[in-house]
Amino acid sequence: MFEIDTSIMLAGVIAGAAPVLLATLGETITERAGIINLSLDGTILLSAMTAFVVAYNTHSLVLGFSAAALVGGLIGLIVAFFSVYLGQSQVAVGFVLTLMTRDLAYFLGSPYARLHGPQALPFSIPILKDIPFIGSIFFSHSLPVYLSLAGIFICWWYLFRTPMGLNLRSVGENPAAAYARGINPGLHQLLYALCGGLLVGLAGATFSLAVKPGWGRPQGAEGTGWIALALVIFGGWHPVRAAFGAYLFAFLQIIGIYLQGWLPSVPTQVFQVAPFPLMIFTLLIISYAQKASDKIVPGGETLTRPAGHHGHRWLQRLLGLLTGDAPAALGQPFRPE
Amino acid sequence: MQIELKNIHKHYGPVRANDGVSLTIRPGTIHGVLGENGAGKSTLMKILTGFTRKTSGTTLIDGHALDIDSPAMAAQYKIGMLHQEPHDFPALSALDNFMIGRVSGISSHRKSHRSELISISTQLGFTLDPDAQVDRLTVGERQQLEIMRLLALNIRVLILDEPTTGISRTQKEILFASLKQLASDGKSVLLVSHKLEDVMALCDEVTVMRQGKVSGRMTAPFDVNQLLQMMFGTLPSPPVHQPAIPGKPILALKDITAPGGRAGLNNCNITIREGEIVGLAGLEGSGQGVFLRVAAGLTNPTRGQITFHDEPLNGSGYHDFKKRGGAFIPASRIEEGLIPGLTISEHFSLNEKQDRFFMTGKTALNQALKSISRFNIKGRPGMDAAALSGGNQQRLLLSLLPASPTVLLLENPTRGLDLGSGHWVWRHLQAQAASGSAIVFSSSELDEIMMVADRTIVFYNGAVVMDTPTHQADADTLGRAVAGGAVPQ
**Residue B321 pLDDT class (50, 70, 90 cuts):** confident
B384, B401, B418 — which closes off a domain?
Answer: B401
Number of inter-chain CB pairs under 8 A, A vs B: 88
Partner-chain residue, chosen from B46, B81, B106, that has the shortest CB–CB distance to A162 = B106
- For residues B407 and B388, membership in a common domain is answered with no
pLDDT confidence bin for A293, thresholds 50/70/90: low
HSE-CB at B233 with a 13 A cutoff on CA atoms is 5
Q: Is B136 on the interface with A (CB under 8 A)?
A: yes
User: What residues in A contact B102, CB-CB < 8 Å?
Assistant: 181
Any domain includes B41: yes
B236 touches chain A (CB under 8 A): no
Read off the CATH number of the domain in which A137 is found. 1.10.3470
Q: Are strands B15-25 and B64-66 parallel, antiparallel or unpaired?
A: unpaired
Closest alpha carbon within chain B to A171? B89
B25 with B143, same domain?
Answer: yes
Q: Which domain holds residue A119?
A: 6-321
pTM for the model stands at 0.76
Same-domain pairing of B484 and B409: yes
Is residue A326 in a domain?
no
Q: Is the CB of residue A319 less than 8 Å away from at least one CB of chain B?
A: no
Question: Is residue B364 located within the same domain as residue B415?
Answer: no
Chosen domain end from B183, B202, B232: B232
Of B238, B229, B240, B287, nearest to B262 by C-alpha is B287
Per-residue pLDDT reduced to its tens digit, B414-468: 877 777 778 888 888 888 888 888 999 998 778 888 888 999 999 988 889 989 8
Residue in chain B nearest A168 by alpha carbon:
B100
In a domain, B101, yes or no: yes
Residues B44 and B83 in one domain: yes
Residue B335 in any domain: the answer is: no
pLDDT band for position B139 (50/70/90)? confident
Q: Tell me which chain A residue has its CA closest to the CA of residue B73.
A: A182
Residue B332 lies in a domain: no
- Number of structural domains, chain A? 1
- Is A72 domain-assigned? yes
Lowest mean pLDDT among A262-266, A274-278, B2-6, B242-246: B242-246
Q: Is B53 left (phi over 0), alpha (psi -120 to 50) or beta?
A: beta
- In-domain check, residue A335: no
Radius of gyration of the CA atoms of chain A, in A: 21
**A166/B100 CB distance under 8 A:** yes
What integer best gives the mean pLDDT of chain B? 84
In a domain, B241, yes or no: yes
Q: Same domain for B163 and B131?
A: yes
Name the residue of chain B whose CA is nearest to A327's CA: B91
Q: Does A335 touch chain B (CB under 8 A)?
A: no
From A83, A334, A44, A28, select the one nearest A195 (Cα to Cα): A28
Share of chain B above pLDDT 90, in %: 15
Residue A337 to residue B53, Cβ atoms within 8 A: yes
A313, pLDDT greater than 70: no
- Whether the predicted pLDDT of B259 surpasses 50: yes
User: Which residues of chain B have a CB within 8 Å of the CB of A185?
Assistant: none
Query: Does A334 fall in a domain?
Result: no
**Which of A195-204, B76-85, B187-196, B281-290 ranks highest by mean pLDDT?**
A195-204
Supply the pLDDT for residue B235.
Answer: 62
Given this model, what pLDDT does residue B166 score?
Answer: 67
B52 inside 8 A of chain A by CB: yes
Q: Please tell me whether residues B27 and B55 are part of one structural domain.
A: yes
The model's pLDDT over B1-15, given as tens digits with 9 standing for 90+, comes to 888 999 999 988 777
**Are the C-beta atoms of B208 and B194 separated by less than 8 Å?**
no
Give the integer Cα–Cα distance in Å for A96 and A81.
15
Tell me: do B171 and B268 sit in the same domain.
no
Which of B204, B232, B260 is where one domain is finished?
A: B232
Q: Residue count of chain B, please give it.
A: 489
* Preceding omega of B221 cis (within 30 degrees of 0): yes
Of these ranges, A164-178, B56-70, B191-205, B308-322, the one predicted with the greatest mean pLDDT is A164-178
Average pLDDT of the residues of chain A: 86
Mean of pLDDT values over A192-216: 94
Examine the domain organization and report whether B365 and B254 are in the same domain.
Answer: no
Would residue A1 count as lying in a domain?
no
Residues B373 and B443 grouped into a single domain: no
- Range of lowest pLDDT (B34-43, B76-85, B156-165): B34-43
CB of B112 less than 8 A from some CB of A: no
Distance in angstroms (rounded) separating the CA atoms of residues B393 and B344: 10
Q: How much is the average pLDDT of A275-284? A: 77
* Burial group, residue A172, by CB count within 10 angstroms (0-12, 13-18, 19+): buried
Q: How many CA atoms lie within 13 A of A122 on its CB side?
A: 15
Rounded Cα gap, residues A55 and A192, in angstroms: 27
> Is the Cβ–Cβ distance between B324 and B404 less than 8 Å?
no
Where are the extended beta strands (E) located within chain A?
Answer: 123-124, 140-141
B330 within domain boundaries: no
Backbone angles phi, psi at B18, to 5 degrees: -125, 130
Contacts of the segment B314-322: beta carbons below 8 A, 24+ positions apart: B321/B295, B321/B296, B321/B297
CA distance, residue A314 to nearest chain B CA (Å): 20
* Gap from A15 CA to chain B (nearest CA, Å): 30
Residues B423 and B382 in one domain: no
Overall domain count for chain B: 3
Q: Are residues B29 and B154 in the same domain?
A: yes
How confident is the model at residue B1, as a pLDDT?
81
pLDDT at position B489 is: 46
Which has more pLDDT, B162 or A55? A55
Structural domain boundaries enclosing B157: 3-232
Interchain CB distance below 8 Å, A182 and B71: yes
- What are A80's strand-pairing partners? none
Q: How many Cβ atoms sit within 10 Å of the Cβ of residue B232?
A: 17
ipTM comes to: 0.81
Give phi and psi for B94, each to the nearest 5. -60, -40
